């Protein structure tokens, strides 16, 4: 005869499942409300986030100047001005080569399109010029029908650019104040909070700051290594626009995994347009080699498990962030995941029992032997 269910155990299991489900629903509801509130104040919060990222990147020179006796205002002003000069120089280094190669780039694109048309007209596709012209006419008709949508998209793009400029200016001002007054923040926060919150929140903020700084500085250094090695490879193979491609590689390094793929794809396409498919394959090999060096040598050595995140978690975070908030989500996905891990680890520390003290019998016996020998002597 089979075993029968115990009614008391069944009721207890059902009550536990119901209680856990209700608690999970409440946590999810609270998370949803918090995300909605963040969405409402995102226009104010986004410049703060950008300023924090910039502050973590510029804090080492700020700390160096402060250790040399500079006043906070003078050190923050110097670092901010040097940062603006550096960013302006990078923009000039990108704009000048691109503008100089603009005509050649357009010609290369047209030649690439003609090459594709010639290939498509042969076997096995055998697409004639008449078919191509028919497709172009259809596309032109649809383009004319979508003039209103294009105008709206253009206005939206202009608004996005204006918002980006405003965000950048606010972030730079906030970066200056974070550099100048940052060390005063945690003592002030401790004085404003009651009870354990005056200890817990400053501790979490300190750990989060250290984690965020580790991420930004390590990604910047890894991106610099990628840019140098890929730039050298492009220069050796004779690919044009080496400097803009190297800068693009450095910038996209702040979006782990996805950024490297995008920068590598752009480099291969430029090589294909200007130098043909043989050089494009060589560039592809260089990019893959550098990415392997980055993933297996550079990042493990530099980051040294500083974030405590598995590569799979990083990839899923970037994917989720990109789906939820586009480029901004991809940029912030890994820092947010790392900060969530910081909070989770701190909560685990506070909620866990201290590890039990286990006496090793062999070690106790050795100590007793040493004590006995000392007494006999």
How much is the average pLDDT of 99-127? 65
pLDDT at res. 150: 45
With 0-12 / 13-18 / 19 or more C-beta atoms within 10 angstroms meaning exposed / middle / buried, residue 168 is: middle
Whether 34 has a pLDDT exceeding 90, the answer reads no
Res 298: pLDDT = 66
CB atoms closer than 10 angstroms to residue 313: 15
User: By mean pLDDT, which of 76-80, 86-90, 261-265 is the weakest?
Assistant: 261-265
What region, left, alpha or beta, does residue 237 occupy, with left being phi > 0 and alpha being psi -120 to 50 degrees? alpha
Cβ neighbors of 179 (< 8 A, separation 6 or more) are 55, 58, 59, 62, 72, 75, 76, 79, 80
Q: What is the mean pLDDT of residues 31-53?
A: 84
Of all residues in the chain, the percent with pLDDT exceeding 90 is 8
Residue-level pLDDT at 376: 45
335 upstream amide cis, omega within 30 of 0:
no
More confident residue, 2 or 226: 226
CA distances to 65, 129, 148, 203, 204 from 135, rounded to whole Å, are 63, 10, 22, 62, 59
For residues 350 and 348, what is the distance between their CA atoms, to the nearest angstrom? 5
* Span of 35-49, 102-116, 193-207 with lowest mean pLDDT: 102-116
Measured between alpha carbons, how far is 30 from 37 in angstroms, rounded to an integer? 11
Q: What are phi and psi of 98, to 5 degrees?
A: -65, -45
pLDDT above 50 (res 204): yes
The yes-or-no verdict on residue 320 having pLDDT over 50 is: yes
Is the predicted pLDDT of residue 224 greater than 70, yes or no?
yes
pLDDT at residue 163 tops 80: no
Residue 68 DSSP one-character state: T
Residues 211 and 334: their CA atoms lie apart, in Å, by 11
CA gap 260, 248 in Å, rounded: 10
pLDDT of 372 over the 60 cut: no
The confidence band for 121, taking pLDDT boundaries of 50, 70 and 90, is low
Model pLDDT, residue 377 = 44
Report pLDDT for 297. 67
| Angle of the 42-67 helix axis to the 197-237 helix axis, nearest 10 | 80
The Cβ-side half-sphere exposure at 76, using a 13 Å CA radius, reads: 18
């Amino acid at each position: 005869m089979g075993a029968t269910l115990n009614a008391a155990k069944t009721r207890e299991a059902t009550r536990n499942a119901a209680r856990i489900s209700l608690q999970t629903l409440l946590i999810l509801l609270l998370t949803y409300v918090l995300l909605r509130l963040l969405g409402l104040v995102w226009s104010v919060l986004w410049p703060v986030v950008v300023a924090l990222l910039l502050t973590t990147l510029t804090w080492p020179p700020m700390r160096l100047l402060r250790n040399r006796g500079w006043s906070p205002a003078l050190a923050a002003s110097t670092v901010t001005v040097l940062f603006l000069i550096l960013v302006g120089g990078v923009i000039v280094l990108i704009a000048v080569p691109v503008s100089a190669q603009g005509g050649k780039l357009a010609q290369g694109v047209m030649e690439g399109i003609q090459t594709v048309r010639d290939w498509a007209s042969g076997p096995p596709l055998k697409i004639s010029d008449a078919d191509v012209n028919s497709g172009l006419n259809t596309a032109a008709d649809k383009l004319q029908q979508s003039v209103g949508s294009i105008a709206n998209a253009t206005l939206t793009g202009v608004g996005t650019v204006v918002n980006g400029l405003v965000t950048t200016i606010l972030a730079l001002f906030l970066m200056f104040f974070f550099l100048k007054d940052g060390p005063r923040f945690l003592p002030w926060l401790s004085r404003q909070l009651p009870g354990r919150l005056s200890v817990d929140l400053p501790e979490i903020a300190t750990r989060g700051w250290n984690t965020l700084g580790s991420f930004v500085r390590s990604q910047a250094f890894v991106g610099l290594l990628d840019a140098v090695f890929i730039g050298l490879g492009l220069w050796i193979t004779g690919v044009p626009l080496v400097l803009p491609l190297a800068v693009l590689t450095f910038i996209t390094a702040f979006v782990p995994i996805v950024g490297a793929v995008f920068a590598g794809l752009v480099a291969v396409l430029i090589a294909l347009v200007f130098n043909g498919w043989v050089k494009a394959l060589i560039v592809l090999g260089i990019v893959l080699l550098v990415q392997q060096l980055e993933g297996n040598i550079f990042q493990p050595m530099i980051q040294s498990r500083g974030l405590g995140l598995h590569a799979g978690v990083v990839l899923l975070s970037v994917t989720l962030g990109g789906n939820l908030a586009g480029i901004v989500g991809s940029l912030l996905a890994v820092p947010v995941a790392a900060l969530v891990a910081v909070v989770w680890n701190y909560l685990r520390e506070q909620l866990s029992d201290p590890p039990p003290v286990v006496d090793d019998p062999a070690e106790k016996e050795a100590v007793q032997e040493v004590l006995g020998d000392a007494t006999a002597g």
